[in-house]
Amino acid sequence: MFIDVALNPAEIARLPGCDLSETTCVVFDVLRATSSMVTALAHGVEAVYPVSTIPEALALQARLPGSVLAGERHGERIDGFELGNSPFEYCSAVCGKTLVTTTTNGTVALRACEGARVVLVGALLNLGALAQELRNRNPARVLLVCAGTFEEFALEDAYAAGLLVEALGDAQLSDAAHSVKALPRLFSDPLSALQTAKNGRVLVGKGRGKEVERCAQVSFYSAVGRMESGAVRPIF
């Protein structure tokens, strides 16, 4: 297994032009898009359709009767949408439902990976199950995609990617993968890493520290989602 990492949105923007046909991509947007998706999957959501823009979300919802609009811009729930981007919103009232979601970075990163052989949704919340899924699949190439924030690198995504590299053990690593693997050693625990990250500090400043605490819980859920044909569904 060879592991590489896309560390920021500029690298992600190039992915649609790359040959990913033999690559398994794992997308991290720990604060908070992929953490919310993993939470929804753990609570029985039927499917999550990630899209890049608000007009795309509205158009797709119109084609999927009964689907629920979810997402954020600048960290806040989009006007007229039923759900925002807090994992706590996905702990109830999602069982059996279909969600259409758009976020600033996470859904964009997922859609950028559409050409990959396999696309998985990653978070600290499902790290153990994610590592086991990758061990079971044993793909030749893995790309860990760190969604970032706007156009910037996001510490929390690279931290989660580093923990996954550690968990996978014996693998060939790119320089970027070696770099993220070293990150967890700089922090006493996952919560300290997320609270140090810019996104974590912003959320704490808005009174959303509990969301940061939830997103920092490692292997809290056993749910793993795979994106196929534009929809994220649980792997059973």
Q: Which pLDDT value is given to residue 93?
A: 83
Average pLDDT of 67-91?
96
Please give the CATH architecture assigned to the domain spanning 2-221: Alpha-Beta Complex (3.90)
Give residue-wise pLDDT tens across range 47-56: 999 999 999 9
> pLDDT band for position 236 (50/70/90)?
confident
Q: Which pLDDT value is given to residue 92?
A: 87
> pLDDT band for position 198 (50/70/90)?
very high
> pLDDT band for position 42 (50/70/90)?
very high
CB 122 within 8 A of CB 168: no
203 — phi, psi (to 5°)? -65, -40
Share of the chain above pLDDT 70, in %: 100
100 closest CA partner among 140, 72, 70, 138: 70
Cis peptide bond N-terminal to 141, omega within 30 = no
Task: Tell me whether residue 228 is exposed, middle or buried, using C-beta atoms within 10 angstroms of its C-beta: 0 to 12, 13 to 18, 19 or more.
Answer: exposed
Average pLDDT of 23-40?
98
Is the pLDDT confidence value at 209 over 80? Answer: yes
Q: Which pLDDT value is given to residue 223?
A: 97
Give strand pairing partners of 208.
none
> pLDDT band for position 40 (50/70/90)?
very high
Would you report the helix, strand and coil content of the chain in percent, each value rounded to 5? 45, 20, 35
| Averaged pLDDT score across all residues of the chain | 97
> pLDDT band for position 67 (50/70/90)?
very high
Residue extents of the structural domains in the chain: 2-221
Q: Which pLDDT value is given to residue 11?
A: 98
Is the pLDDT confidence value at 176 over 90? Answer: yes
> pLDDT band for position 111 (50/70/90)?
very high
